[in-house]
Structure 1
Amino acid sequence: MTELAQNNTEVDDALPLGPQSLVWRYFGDNRMYLIGPRPAVLQNMLAELGQGVLDHSVFFSDTAARVKRSLPPIFMTVYGSEDDNEGFNVRDFHHNIKGEMTLPDGRVSRYHALDPETYFWAHATFVEQVLYFADTFVKKLSREEKERIYLESKTWYRRYGVSDRPMPATYAEFEKYWQRMLDDVLVAHSTAKYGVGYVTKGFPCPKGVHPLVWRVLSVGFNPLAAFLTTGGLPPQARQLLGLPWSERQERRYQRFAAFWRSRPVNWLWDRLPMSVRYNKFAQRGYANAA
């Protein structure tokens, strides 16, 4: 196959990003906070990825700094243009994230953040984040909409310049991949367990907040954070991480989600200013496209 034919195949098996795409519509929506840290927790439940964070990240010493450093270039990869985005820079951040890890059976294995299977899992959690968020807190997505989001996400992934060998060809194949990862591959890595520790212990006092002020605020904040975090995780992840969740809590979570999906809430949200509805990266993307 010629290079031109290969390029045409790559274009034909995906959909573009841009103002008309569903990924743009949902990924930068500020209601995304309602799903809690779902993608980050699931990322770190892949042993190789969790070990990379443990060995190379400031996640444990300054979690907020890690989030502020990691998320902006990913948003700019999505909301940039095909010729001007941060995809290659995101990839290059990971060149030196590598090392060794001890497997449960005692064997030592090497890991690298740019291993295609590891890198694609990180991306997959963001793709599933878009699907889960929209379907849970905005509207019930049709099968066609889910397939469209997935085809758009293939364009997103290719902006990183990492091998797309592990990337499922279709949404149906992605569903099977996702289920297999949840059922057979993910583990309760210490990085993931640390990331959800506040569910049972509460958040520590944030930097810059007086302890007495935090003592008052935490009374409402900690239960809400625990509710969104635990409710926003797949059952397999909750079980692996030992997070308590009852049928009663599940019913409350579903009622909470249904409230956000309701027609009056969506009607009101759609009439708020763009600066309220979307983060600054999405706002910039739409403005540049216009």
Structure 2
Amino acid sequence: MSSASGVRRARCPEEPRPPPPGGMLWDLAGEIRTLLTLPAALTMQVAHPAVGAGVDEHSVFRTDPWGRAERSLASLQLWVYGGERAAEEGRRLRRLHRDIRGTDAHGREYHALDPACYAWVHATGFPVYRHAQRYLGRRPYTDAEERRLYAEWLRVGRVLGIQDRDMPQTPREFWPYYRRMLAEELEDTAVVRELVATDRYVPPPDRGPRVPRAVLRLLWPLLLPLFTRLRRFITIGMMPPDARTAIGLPWTPRQERRLRRLGRVVRTVVPLLPERLRYLPPAYAARKAYRKGARG
């Protein structure tokens, strides 16, 4: 008997793959309109007491907000456009969160990789994308588009190491889970209050597009009040209304009208931009390389 026939080879599990080129996230995740949705998703995440406590105790969002945002955005781009690097980025994030643990404001122990917490952090992206589409897109998603988007978001979750058993597998299963989280888990945490505050100091960016650091520092006392008010407006506005209510964030009809006007401008102007300006650099590079490979 040959050794090949006598030994059953163990099959290595296949690496999770990011969403496919040409899919919905391929068009959405790297486009500059997505930048308007990220603060809402982050605020919904930290409205979970365990997630909020982890960010409060272990994040550098107070001391290095711009660097943290830049690193988070670069990571997100890898999830969708990173190809073979996506799975390694998922492993890196799990290693990064392995030692994040502590006690939340209610005295309950938490761990960043607890499946319920880790899944919620990822889950927030889907309702925020769906809600933002009503302002930033030409029309709301159809049911079929929502199913496609959710299926792709599940693929991103697998890249991040989220098990299928820990995430609803269809939009129909997602919404009861989502409503339960709003009703039973979310609250106005200390980190939520900081993220939507208009009187909290934020250091100036280290750099800006074609603006020297010294000039930014000089102008920052004038720009900061405008920045914090805009951040609050975008954060709450791009958050689904039921999430706003669950967290206790106010929103007025006047603000809604302003957001709709802003949405009309954004969805008119952004599609007219050349692709290299419309997409973030990693997304643009990946899209360009994919087209070149498809032609070749």
Question: TM-score, normalised on structure 2?
Answer: 0.79
Counterpart for residue 278 of structure 1 = 279
TM-superposed CA distance for 1:205, in Å, is: 5.3
Counterpart for residue 188 of structure 1 = 188
Say which SS state the counterpart of residue 124 (structure 2) adopts. Answer: helix
CA contact (8 A) 2:18 2:81 kept: no
TM-superposed CA distance for 1:76, in Å, is: 0.4
Aligned length: 268
User: Quick check: 1:245 aligned with 2:244?
Assistant: no
Amino acid at match of 2:171: Y
Amino acid at match of 1:78: V
TM-superposed CA distance for 1:43, in Å, is: 0.7
Counterpart for residue 136 of structure 2 = 137
Unpaired runs of 5+ residues, structure 2, are 1-12, 206-212, 292-296
Say which SS state the counterpart of residue 188 (structure 1) adopts. Answer: coil
Of structures 1 and 2, the larger Rg is shown by: 2
Greater Cα offset, 221-230 or 177-186? 221-230
Counterpart for residue 4 of structure 1 = none
**1:57-88: CA deviation from partner (whole Å, max 9, x where unpaired):** 1112222222222231222021122x331222
CA contact (8 A) 1:16 1:155 kept: yes
Tell me, in whole angstroms, the C-alpha distance in 1 between the residues paired with 2:165 and 2:60: 30
Say which SS state the counterpart of residue 103 (structure 2) adopts. Answer: strand
**1:123-177: CA deviation from partner (whole Å, max 9, x where unpaired):** 1122333333334301321111111000111111111223332210111111222
**1:169-216: CA deviation from partner (whole Å, max 9, x where unpaired):** 111111222222223320111112111112xx2654515456652344
Counterpart for residue 126 of structure 1 = 125
Aligned pair partner of 1:206 in 204, 213, 218 = 204
Say which SS state the counterpart of residue 37 (structure 1) adopts. Answer: helix
RMSD, aligned α-carbons: 2.8
TM-superposed CA distance for 1:237, in Å, is: 4.5
**1:92-130: CA deviation from partner (whole Å, max 9, x where unpaired):** 221111122342xxxx32211111111111111223333
TM-superposed CA distance for 1:287, in Å, is: 2.9
Counterpart for residue 3 of structure 1 = none
TM-superposed CA distance for 1:246, in Å, is: 1.8
Unpaired runs of 5+ residues, structure 1, are 1-6
Percentage identity across aligned positions? 33
Greater Cα offset, 43-52 or 276-285? 276-285
